[in-house]
Amino acid sequence: MIAHLINTDVGGRGILRVYLDYRRRCFDFLTKAASKFLENLSRVLIVTGFPIPPAQIPETDGPPGALAVALAVEKLGGRADVLTYPEVREALSEFWNSFVERPRLSRYSLVIAIETPGRSADGRYYSMSGLEVKREVFDGVVLEARRLGIPTIGIGDGGNEAGMGKVRDLVIRYIPHGEKIASVIETDELITSAVSNWGAYGLIAEASLIGAENLLRGFDEVGIVKALAEAGIIDGVTKRAGVSVDGIGMEVHRKIAGLIESIIEQKIKSV
């Protein structure tokens, strides 16, 4: 149910077909990701931020999800650090204070990449429209973690993010410009979603069901997106600073998050 919900393709960008084929290959991908998350909480590095060409300004998708995951780690007794762009870090500082700029990967038990560029087959980085990202990117963190044997989870919604290399063939098949933009960077576990923030909430929801505790309770997505917009962080589809994510108004996001929470509460009550 939650996996279906977070892959509701409101923006019509093709991820639903990727999800359906991916789920046939790995039906319990969300449970596997949540289990990996819960088993490796001692120190988690969360990587987020996708610069949108041509201005190369980060977007509002990714940081809210990263913050939600960081808060969940903290609730579960773990420690989380966030690696992101300076302007995102500044915007989130009223909600979170543990950021890193040059993380030493050997210190971490888990790396989670949420809506962050993953290099394509030609070694470059692209937006969904095929424009080149020309700013520092963080997918090297995922590669280094895998080299060191540190577990990794990727969350993406368009095929051009770190982690989506796990379904690169499906991205090429179903996503516009897929051959050009598809990431080759894989993670141990992958969560597809129609909006990457929703994928992060799905991870937390599944972890909540496993542990019978609502880890999303009290999370203020609208307030966080407002803070990002006020700091000049842009909607990745409209390319304007505004209180929206991926061209979708916050009323839809609020209802999706609310439904996810309602599912958590209902399932916990029925246990």
- Model confidence pLDDT, tens digit, residues 146-163: 999 999 999 999 999 999
Query: Is residue 229 within a helix (H) or strand (E), and if so which, with residue range?
Result: helix 221-230
DSSP letter (8 states) at residue 68? H
- The token duo for 2 is 């939650």
- Segment 80-90 mean pLDDT: 98
Please report, rounded to a whole number, the percentage of residues in the chain having pLDDT higher than 90. Answer: 96
Q: Which residues contact 126 (CB under 8 A, 6 or more apart)?
A: 117, 120, 132, 133, 160, 177, 180, 181
Q: What is the phi/psi pair of residue 35, to 5°?
A: -65, -45
The residue to which tokens 């969560």 are assigned: 191
Residue 269 confidence (pLDDT): 85
Cα–Cα distance, 55 to 91 (Å, whole number)? 18
- 80-83 sheet: strands from edge to edge: 99-100, 80-83, 44-48, 110-114, 152-156, 189-192
The candidate with the shortest Cα–Cα distance to 62, out of 246, 206, 187, is 246
68: phi > 0 → left, psi -120 to 50 → alpha, else beta; which? alpha
Residue 91 confidence (pLDDT): 97
- Between strands 57-58 and 51-52, the pairing is antiparallel
Residue 271 confidence (pLDDT): 66
Query: Is residue 24 within a helix (H) or strand (E), and if so which, with residue range?
Result: helix 15-25
Q: What is the CA radius of gyration of the chain?
A: 17
Contacts of 223-226 with CB under 8 Å at 24 or more apart are 224/63, 224/64, 224/67, 224/92, 224/95, 225/60, 225/64, 225/250, 225/253
pLDDT at 6 > cutoff 80: yes
The candidate with the shortest Cα–Cα distance to 268, out of 216, 202, 208, is 208
The residue to which tokens 């993953």 are assigned: 118
Cα–Cα distance, 239 to 157 (Å, whole number)? 17
- Model confidence pLDDT, tens digit, residues 18-60: 999 999 999 999 999 999 999 999 999 999 999 999 999 999 9
**Which pTM was predicted?**
0.97
- Model confidence pLDDT, tens digit, residues 196-218: 999 999 999 999 999 999 999 99
The residue to which tokens 């061209």 are assigned: 247
Residue 267 confidence (pLDDT): 87
Q: Are 264 and 216 in contact (CB under 8 A)?
A: yes
- Between strands 99-100 and 152-156, the pairing is unpaired
pLDDT at 222 > cutoff 70: yes
